[in-house]
Amino acid sequence: MSDQPVALVTGSSSGIGAAVARRLSAEGYRVAVNSARSAEAGRAVAASLPDAVHLQADISDADAARRLVEDVVTHYGRLDVLVNNAGTTRIIAHDDLAAATPEVWREILDVNLIGTWQVTVAAVPHLKAGGDGSIVNITSIAGSRPAGSSIPYAVSKAALEHLTRLLAATLGPELRVNAVAPGLIDTDWTAPLTGPREQVAALAPLRRIGTADDVAAAVLGLVRSPYTTGSVLLADGGVHLR
């Protein structure tokens, strides 16, 4: 088995996940790229990185989540870092309560919270085996502020923040568990949001919205921090100060 560490980044065919995959690869990690549906994009990301592999799996499916981790370990022989980035949302005005149906709640929670849980549970024994395992969850400032694309999305991210703390308290000292909470990030999904992008850039002390590479840098910082666990690192350009 190679001594080169291995990272699994869920939801990494584009945006923040792809940037995290590239950053970890640049730091010497062999990276398993994952997507639920965007197989072509996921394969392209993996092909652009040395010794990377693309594994298609919908983490909201319990069996698929378990197989995803098994496939990573089968392919590489180890797992050292798990970045839980896969997520979904619906754009629903917060005052449109009727539109946030039980079906929408289940769809969002099944991926953002339960899917993350399923991958994590499957990964923990392998992360512990390496002796220096680390989990980083990607949450959102919507998890701590009355904001976000919908109420179900914001609640899912708030739950993910608390899950981060609970897991950190439970899995130490073998594993460290932290989270990055991005603000508005420049991705294909947020490109049409001209108004909010301008508002955030004007509001943030750093006077710009974030990039996927900004989030990737925050993830790497937590992976490298041996005495940090249970932390939620804001990557929002200082918007939380306003």
Domains of the chain from N-terminus onward: 6-237 (3.40.50.720)
**Mean pLDDT for the chain overall:** 95
- Three-state DSSP state, 133: strand
Return d(Cα 154, Cα 209) in angstroms, integer: 19
Q: Which residues contact 2 (CB under 8 A, 6 or more apart)?
A: 30, 76, 77, 78
Q: What is the pLDDT, as a whole number, of residue 198?
A: 83
Return d(Cα 106, Cα 122) in angstroms, integer: 21
The half-sphere exposure of 187 on its side-chain side, counting CA atoms within 13 A, is 17
Q: Give the model confidence (pLDDT) of 100-123 as tens digits.
A: 999 999 999 999 999 999 999 999
Q: Which residues contact 101 (CB under 8 A, 6 or more apart)?
A: none
Q: Which residues contact 80 (CB under 8 A, 6 or more apart)?
A: 5, 6, 7, 29, 127, 130, 132, 133, 134
Q: What is the pLDDT, as a whole number, of residue 193?
A: 66
Return d(Cα 28, Cα 26) in angstroms, integer: 5
Q: Are strands 53-56 and 81-84 parallel, antiparallel or unpaired?
A: unpaired
Terminal alpha carbon distance of the chain: 49
Catalytic sites, residue numbers:
153
Tokens (6 digits) for 199: 């508002």
- In order along its 242 residues, the chain shows pLDDT tens digits of 688 999 999 999 999 999 999 999 999 999 999 999 989 999 999 999 999 999 999 999 999 999 999 999 999 999 999 999 999 999 899 999 999 999 999 999 999 999 999 999 999 999 999 888 999 999 999 888 888 889 999 999 999 999 999 999 999 999 999 999 999 898 877 766 667 778 888 888 999 989 999 999 999 999 999 999 999 999 999 989 88
- How long is the chain? 242
Q: Give the DSSP H/E element, type plus range, for residue 146.
A: none
Q: Give the model confidence (pLDDT) of 155-182 as tens digits.
A: 999 999 999 999 999 999 999 999 999 9
Q: Which residues contact 78 (CB under 8 A, 6 or more apart)?
A: 1, 2, 5, 6, 126, 129, 130
Q: Give the DSSP H/E element, type plus range, for residue 175.
A: strand 175-182
Instruction: Tell me whether residue 107 is exposed, middle or buried, using C-beta atoms within 10 angstroms of its C-beta: 0 to 12, 13 to 18, 19 or more.
Output: middle
- Three-state DSSP state, 185: strand
Q: What is the pLDDT, as a whole number, of residue 223?
A: 98
